[in-house]
Amino acid sequence: MKNILHIISSPRQEASASIKLGNNIIEKLLEKYPGSRVKTINVSEKNYPALDQTMIGAFKVPVTEQSPEQRNALRISNDAVAELADADIAIIGSPLYNFHIPSTLKAWLDLIVRPGLSFRYANGKSEGLLGDKKIYLALASNGVYSDGPMKPMDFAEPYLRHILGFIGLNDITTFRVEGGGISGIMETALEKGLASVAV
Ligand SMILES: Cc1cc2nc3c(=O)[nH]c(=O)nc-3n(C[C@H](O)[C@H](O)[C@H](O)COP(=O)(O)O)c2cc1C
């Protein structure tokens, strides 16, 4: 029995390849770990706030010294960190938008990368605090970025690996539905992406 967290960032619902891919990963996980709990957070519908002056200022204030305004400002970030901390396995779905992740997913990441809660600096080195979780990335794009001429433009996957690793999440496996806009590839892109899933 595992706690599984599904982070969705495509707003396209039934039409979304990254959601279909994420759901396929979850189906396989449920076969492997029957009775697991699945919690879904659709960041495209959450309206997570961009970091503002109050939040950034509050990040560095010890809990016991936070003002009511600072405590209030941090609540949404505390909740987002707790939801991820509770999960044994997280699936993070992302469309490629303008060669990167959607701003809504970046907003979620800005809330979960928290000094003292999900990372800290010790002896001049950063240390991730959310270790011991399995992460699956479910990525969708019109182009092909895993290999070939567009690989140098693959900013999203390396970024996700880096920022998740920064908070201690290093056990990452990526699955992709790619080439969804390229004739000759698009016809089988979804089928190939779903078939590649192994957990
Ligand atoms: C605003 C926007 C920007 C996009 N930018 C890119 C891009 O830079 N590269 C690419 O290969 N596909 C791009 N696409 C295509 C999407 O990545 C593709 O449709 C993908 O399947 C979307 O994920 P979803 O099916 O989960 O919604 C873009 C789509 C939109 C709507």
Q: Kindly write down the DSSP assignment for every residue of 40-107, as one continuous string.
A: EEEGGGT-PPPP-HHHHHHHTS-GGG--HHHHHHHHHHHHHHHHHHH-SEEEEEEE-BTTB--HHHHH
Question: Quick one: pLDDT band at residue 2, thresholds 50, 70, 90?
Answer: very high
Superfamily of domain 3-195: Flavodoxin domain (3.40.50.360)
Q: What pLDDT, on a 0 to 100 scale, did the predictor assign at position 199?
A: 97
Q: Name the residue with the closest Cα to ligand 1, atom 28.
A: 97
Question: Quick one: pLDDT band at residue 126, thresholds 50, 70, 90?
Answer: very high
Q: Find out whether the beta carbon of 98 lies less than 6 Å from any atom of ligand 1.
A: yes
Q: Find out whether the beta carbon of 141 lies less than 6 Å from any atom of ligand 1.
A: yes
Q: Find out whether the beta carbon of 18 lies less than 6 Å from any atom of ligand 1.
A: yes
Q: What pLDDT, on a 0 to 100 scale, did the predictor assign at position 159?
A: 98
Q: Find out whether the beta carbon of 10 lies less than 6 Å from any atom of ligand 1.
A: yes
Distance between Cα 17 and ligand 1 center (Å): 10
Query: Do 76 and 48 contact (CB within 8 A), yes or no?
Result: yes
Q: How far apart are CA 195 and CA 190, in angstroms?
A: 8
DSSP 13: G
Q: Find out whether the beta carbon of 33 lies less than 6 Å from any atom of ligand 1.
A: no
Please classify residue 82 by burial: count the beta carbons closer than 10 Å to its beta carbon, then call 0-12 exposed, 13-18 middle and 19+ buried.
exposed
Q: Find out whether the beta carbon of 17 lies less than 6 Å from any atom of ligand 1.
A: yes
Residue 132 above 90 pLDDT? no
Segment 122-137 mean pLDDT = 93
**Bind-site residues for FMN:** 10, 16-18
3-state secondary structure 41-57: EEHHHCCCCCCCHHHHH
Question: Quick one: pLDDT band at residue 145, thresholds 50, 70, 90?
Answer: very high
Residue 106 above 90 pLDDT? yes
What is the residue extent of each domain of the chain? Answer: 3-195
Question: Quick one: pLDDT band at residue 131, thresholds 50, 70, 90?
Answer: confident
Question: Quick one: pLDDT band at residue 173, thresholds 50, 70, 90?
Answer: very high
The packing angle between helices 186-195 and 17-32, to 10°, is 20
pLDDT above 70: percentage of residues in the chain: 100
Contacts of 96 (CB under 8 A, 6+ apart): 139, 140, 141, 142, 143, 145, 156
Q: Is 123 left (phi over 0), alpha (psi -120 to 50) or beta?
A: left
* Ligand 1 atom at minimum distance from 180 CA: 21
Tokens of 6: 């599904």
Q: What pLDDT, on a 0 to 100 scale, did the predictor assign at position 140?
A: 98
φ/ψ (deg, to 5) at 103: -60, -25
Distance between Cα 73 and ligand 1 center (Å): 32
Q: How far apart are CA 139 and CA 81, in angstroms?
A: 22
CA 63 to each of CA 66, 74, 113, 116: distance values in angstroms, whole numbers, following the listed order: 5, 10, 17, 10
- Which pTM value belongs to this model? 0.97
Give per-residue pLDDT as tens, 147-160.
999 999 999 999 99
Distance between Cα 62 and ligand 1 center (Å): 40
Query: Do 96 and 143 contact (CB within 8 A), yes or no?
Result: yes
Q: What pLDDT, on a 0 to 100 scale, did the predictor assign at position 129?
A: 96
The overall average pLDDT reported for the chain is 97
